[in-house]
Amino acid sequence: MLWKRGASEIASLVSKGELKPSEVIESFLRRFEETEEKVKAYITPLFEEALEQAKKLDDKKPEGKLFGVPVAVKDNIVIKGVRTTCASKILENFVSPYDATVIEKLKKEGALFVGKTNMDEFAMGSSTEYSAFFPTRNPWDTERVPGGSSGGSAVTVAVQSAPVSLGSDTGGSIRQPASFCGVIGIKPTYGRVSRYGLVAFASSLDQIGVFGRRTEDVALLLEVISGHDPRDSTSRKVPVPRYTEEMKGGVEGLRIGLPKEFFEFELQKEIEETFKGFISKLEEAGCEVVEVSLPHVRYAIPAYYIIAPSEASSNLARYDGVRYGYRAKGYSDIIDMFSKTRDEGFGPEVKRRIMLGTFALSAGYYDAYYLKAMKVRRLIYEDFMRAFEKVDVIAGPTSPTLPFKLGERLENPIEMYLSDVFTVPVNLAGLPGISVPIGWVRGLPVGGQLIGRPWEESTLLRISYVWEQMFPHYEKTPPL
């Protein structure tokens, strides 16, 4: 069964001529057909198109690091000629005229795109229930959420209808679903991967990242998509490491910081116990554990829910029914058209955040809210930098809870927002973060989060690589 193999293994077999790209896609297509009805991970499946492309590659000389490898893509990353909806009615029929930079890079390395995955509308949510089309289900228990906003991308990797996938992370949207679905999810340093072609939610926080079951696969995909892009002014000119080589560097002597503030939040007991087991295993592998303090981390959620909605209010002003996307019918004048289009086109969570952001930026409130939140953001960054003087990596649980039931938090936005209490500070500080599966509680996956210094994704991948030798989590498959 080819669909059980990882991206690196597939790429290696294809390059040696032992496998044809079409055989690979056919196997993943069969897996998609077996699993998709149960989990609803894709908005736009592209398996048939991928198979056509694969057949053309069958007789060609393999070129590129991902030649013939299937990749699923979150539906807020544009692919030329393919529908990009952001899981919103307002963009339901939008077909992109260009490729995102990450897509160009993957095409150059021979990757094949098998589908656009479901998400919370405009990446606003922590459960993939805010999609305008349908909720995605957690493959470990289909009555529960897969996390969000990149829930579809996490699920495709968990059920193995794709070996790797792309997501985006604004406040935990890769790491939290990775934790809920029992896969690896990495958010690189802000500026490591180009955002050109990523539909903007909060431009100073958004970052494209990767899901996979094996560290090697995540490292390979990250290596391909990273690097400076002149079309994205926030992309940095920093050399891209050979992640696939550097991940094998071992963990002997690494210092891991445990922030005492993380354990002052409400945390499910079984998650805390599983996390302690993870840390003691890393100590056995040669890591040193040090207590650190992040005193301002308790203000991360309030600061984030001022900064992110403010940027969203500005970024989403372009969806007005004039140039592209949905336009309401039956309006009296242009103002009426704007308001009806936005009222009918956006879902309740997107409207809530636009209103929060517009209020925070309005005259008379800017200093009291946005400016203050930006000052808190700086303090959070400085807390991390002080902690990194003593340690190499900071660790904590990825989520304070196990995956919750579908519908359980829809009526209580605050409870939903608190799902990201451990992941949001990482985005505010622009740091790299990875979630790795550290155990299962009552059949549900638990993730542990590792946070690195800026540009040091390699350190996180080293720990992930050593951990999976001790705890081969990738061998466990959801009981679909």
pLDDT in tens, the chain (480 residues): 899 999 999 999 999 999 999 999 999 999 999 999 999 999 999 999 999 999 999 999 999 999 999 999 999 999 999 999 999 999 999 999 999 999 999 999 999 999 999 999 999 999 999 999 999 999 999 999 999 999 999 999 999 999 999 999 999 999 999 999 999 999 999 999 999 999 999 999 999 999 999 999 999 999 999 999 999 999 999 999 999 999 999 999 999 999 999 999 999 999 999 999 999 999 999 999 999 999 999 999 999 999 999 999 999 999 999 988 999 999 999 999 999 999 999 999 999 999 999 999 998 899 999 999 999 999 999 999 999 999 999 999 999 999 999 999 999 989 999 999 999 999 999 999 999 999 999 999 999 999 999 999 999 999 999 999 999 999 999 998
**DSSP secondary structure string for all residues of 427-458:** HHHT--EEEEEEEEETTEEEEEEEEE-TT-HH
Please give the pLDDT value at position 1.
87
The pTM is what?
0.97
Number of neighbours of residue 351 by Cβ within 10 angstroms: 16
Q: How far apart are CA 177 and CA 265, in angstroms?
A: 20
Torsion angles phi and psi, residue 432, rounded to 5: -80, 145
Q: How far apart are CA 39 and CA 235, in angstroms?
A: 35
Please give the pLDDT value at position 125.
97
Torsion angles phi and psi, residue 165, rounded to 5: -150, 160
Q: How far apart are CA 96 and CA 118, in angstroms?
A: 17
* Backbone dihedral region for residue 355 (phi beyond 0: left; psi -120 to 50: alpha; all else: beta): alpha
Torsion angles phi and psi, residue 194, rounded to 5: -60, 140
Per-residue b or e along 378-394, where b marks 16 or more CB atoms closer than 10 Å to that residue's CB: eebbebbeebbeebbbb
Q: How far is CA 327 from CA 90, 96, 107, 121, in A?
A: 8, 18, 33, 18
Q: How far apart are CA 449 and CA 433, in angstroms?
A: 7
Q: How far apart are CA 168 and CA 175, in angstroms?
A: 10
Q: How far apart are CA 96 and CA 57, in angstroms?
A: 24
Residue holding tokens 């991948």? 461
Right CATH number for 2-246 from 3.40.605.10, 3.40.190.150, 3.90.1300.10, 1.10.1740.10? 3.90.1300.10
Q: How far apart are CA 408 and CA 98, in angstroms?
A: 39
Q: How far apart are CA 6 and CA 304, in angstroms?
A: 35
Catalytic residues: 74, 149, 173
Q: How far is CA 478 from CA 138, 145, 157, 431, in A?
A: 9, 14, 11, 31
Q: How far apart are CA 398 and CA 154, in angstroms?
A: 14
Q: How far is CA 159 from CA 47, 155, 193, 427, in A?
A: 16, 6, 26, 28
Q: How far apart are CA 119 and CA 40, in angstroms?
A: 11
Please give the pLDDT value at position 324.
87
* Residues paired with residue 434 on neighbouring β-strands, in sequence order: 186, 450
